[in-house]
Amino acid sequence: MPNSADDDYSFKEMPLAYKLVLKLPKPSLSCFPERLQGIFWAIFAPIFIVCYVYLNLMIVLFSPFPVNLFLVGSLTVLVFLFVFRIHLDRVLNSQKVMLKRTSHRDIKERVADYVSYFNKRKSESRIRSDSDPENP
């Protein structure tokens, strides 16, 4: 959810699907120390994915026809929303960091600095070539 005026501005420009996903509760591992969070994502998340696949397989094989499609579809949508929420949060955080690193630069000012630097170098090269007696 947006916290400051800059976040609110970027939140207003997002597509509707992103806004809806960001309204979902954020999955958090704050109860674990930071070292254990890496272990969670490296060990428990793949185990969860494998169990999810087997659960879907069992639902498809052992449930009656209309129920199995509904259960598999709803589980798939829930897992997708969970992963998409985490991914979207990480992408937005990385964009915020990148925008904070870059400073606003006036292009006209930079071009004028470059042109003056180029003219200065050009005049220095002319002075050198005029003062050098070996190069006529």
pLDDT tens per residue across span 106-120: 677 788 888 999 898
CA distances from 122 to 48, 109, 125, 130, 132 (A): 66, 20, 5, 12, 16
Which pLDDT belongs to residue 133? 59
Question: Domain ranges in the chain?
Answer: 5-102, 109-136
The model's pTM: 0.53
Residues with Cβ within 8 Å of 82's Cβ and at least 6 positions away in sequence, in order, are: 27
> Over the stretch 58-99, which tens digit does the pLDDT of each residue have?
888 888 888 888 888 888 888 888 888 878 887 887 777 777
**Phi, psi at 105, each rounded to 5°:** -120, 135
CA distances from 92 to 7, 20, 29, 39, 70 (A): 10, 15, 18, 24, 32
4-35 residues labelled b (16+ CB within 10 A) or e (exposed): eeeeeeeeeeeeeeeeebbeeeeeeeeeeeee
